[in-house]
Amino acid sequence: MFEVQRVVKRRIEIVGLCLNVGEAQKISLADLAEEFHVDELTIKRDLKELRFVGIDIHSTKNFGVIVSTHVSHDKIKEILLHYAGIINYNNVYDKSTALLVEKKSASALNHFIRLQLCIENCCKAKIVYHHHNFETQERIVNPLLIFHSEGSWRLLTQEDGIVKQFHLDKISSVESTDQSFQRMSKEKFENLFKHSWGSWIGKDKFHVRLLFDKVWAERINQRMLVSDQKIINQPGGSILFEAEVNSLAEIASWIVSRGKGCTVLAPEELKEQVVKIAKDTLSNYKK
């Protein structure tokens, strides 16, 4: 790991350790120096640099090193993503990345970079895309985001007001154009995945109600599956799960994959899809 990354990693870790610290858990400069195997002067420099980038962190007499001012969710997300990138720096194996490189070779990196530059410069990109039915299309897209979902790298785009996804391993060429596009507002962008159960982006809204038995309840209670989920404890340890989703197909497949212990209460259309998927799967094993 580069020295610059090592320093940034340490500073992020200092912030994380010192957030929400009470008097009983106070962390001193000496504690941090011992934790990171540096001297206290280095920790003081770290705190100064953190204040310079907007983190209100100080060493106090009564509470030790604390973050004095509330840190916004946006800032936490920014810091966490930066940290995730650093700690995965030496992780040379990621299945989806390995498969992409195996299939596309040097083009994997070339396409990634060309698309990212188009995203940053609000520049339309011309791509050649291979559909699952072997149809090849050349199209001009407004690239919004390269993201990882369900075991593959994907490109999020907007065309004529419609948001679409493309699998990077199905893109055979990428060219930047001299055409620009208007970047989507931050609020609208963040709402794209708000009701996504997996990676599907759509304008539909379905209110789903699921009943999880005690075994599944213990797992689901610890997870945040969608942003507006509601969990109601039921007698016997089961839970009632409610949420708004934008695709019944995704959640239907997810429910079937859970097996026993998850019952659809509503909507009726979701019940029908779950039953159909389960029956179709079982038909593969009928003699």
Relative to beta strand 171-180, strand 152-159 is unpaired
**CA-to-CA dists, residue 83 to 7, 29, 224, 282, angstroms:** 11, 22, 21, 44
Where are the chain's structural domains? 3-87, 95-184, 206-283
Alpha carbon distance 169, 150 (integer Å): 14
Query: For residue 144, which of 132, 162, 131 has the smallest C-alpha distance?
Result: 162
Average pLDDT rounded to a whole number, residues 271-277: 95
Residue 31 pLDDT greater than 80, yes or no: yes
CB-based contacts of 163: which residues, under 8 Å, 6+ apart? 144, 156, 157, 192, 201
**CA-to-CA dists, residue 147 to 30, 53, 70, 143, 218, angstroms:** 40, 27, 29, 11, 30
Q: Given this model, what pLDDT does residue 209 score?
A: 96
Q: What tokens does 172 get? A: 């055979």
Q: Given this model, what pLDDT does residue 91 score?
A: 59
- Assess contact for 24 and 36: CB atoms under 8 A: no
Q: Given this model, what pLDDT does residue 133 score?
A: 67
Residue 200 pLDDT greater than 80, yes or no: no
Q: What tokens does 29 get? A: 């400069």
Residue 92 pLDDT greater than 60, yes or no: no
Q: Options 2.30.30.520, 1.50.10.10, 3.40.30.10, 3.40.640.10; which CATH number does 95-184 get?
A: 2.30.30.520
Alpha carbon distance 7, 10 (integer Å): 5
Residue 23 pLDDT greater than 80, yes or no: no
Quote the mean pLDDT of the chain: 88
Average pLDDT rounded to a whole number, residues 111-124: 94
Quick: pLDDT tens for 32-88.
999 999 999 999 999 999 999 889 999 988 889 999 888 888 889 889 888 888 877
The CATH architecture annotation of domain 3-87 reads: Orthogonal Bundle (1.10)
DSSP string of the chain?
--HHHHHHHHHHHHHHHHTT--GGG-B-HHHHHHHHTS-HHHHHHHHHHHHHTT--EEEETTTEEEE-SPPPHHHHHHHHHHHHHHHTTT----HHHHHHHHHHTHHHHHHHHHHHHHHHTTEEEEEEEE-TTS-EEEEEEEEEEEEEETTEEEEEEEETTEEEEEEGGGEEEEEEEEEE-PPPPHHHHHHTTTT-SSS---S--EEEEEEE-HHHHHHHTT---STT-EEEE-GGG-EEEEEEES-HHHHHHHHHHH-TTEEEEE-HHHHHHHHHHHHHHHHTT--
Quick: pLDDT tens for 1-20.
578 888 999 999 999 999 87
Angle at 9 between CA 3 and CA 14, to 5 degrees: 130
Percent of the chain with pLDDT over 90: 54
Q: Given this model, what pLDDT does residue 22 score?
A: 59
Q: In the structure, what pLDDT confidence band is assigned to residue 24 with cuts at 50, 70 and 90?
A: low
Higher per-residue confidence, 188 vs 168: 168
Residue 190 pLDDT greater than 90, yes or no: no
Q: Given this model, what pLDDT does residue 85 score?
A: 80
Q: Given this model, what pLDDT does residue 21 score?
A: 64
Quick: pLDDT tens for 121-164.
999 999 999 987 678 889 999 999 998 887 889 999 987 778 88
The C-alpha R_g of the chain, in whole angstroms, comes to 24
Encoded amino acid at 126, one letter: K
Task: Estimate to the nearest angstrom the gap between the alpha carbon of 154 and the chain centroid.
Answer: 12
Q: What tokens does 263 get? A: 């019952």
Quick: pLDDT tens for 97-113.
888 889 999 999 999 99
Q: Given this model, what pLDDT does residue 261 score?
A: 92
Q: In the structure, what pLDDT confidence band is assigned to residue 211 with cuts at 50, 70 and 90?
A: very high
Average pLDDT rounded to a whole number, residues 224-229: 87
Q: What tokens does 186 get? A: 């931050």
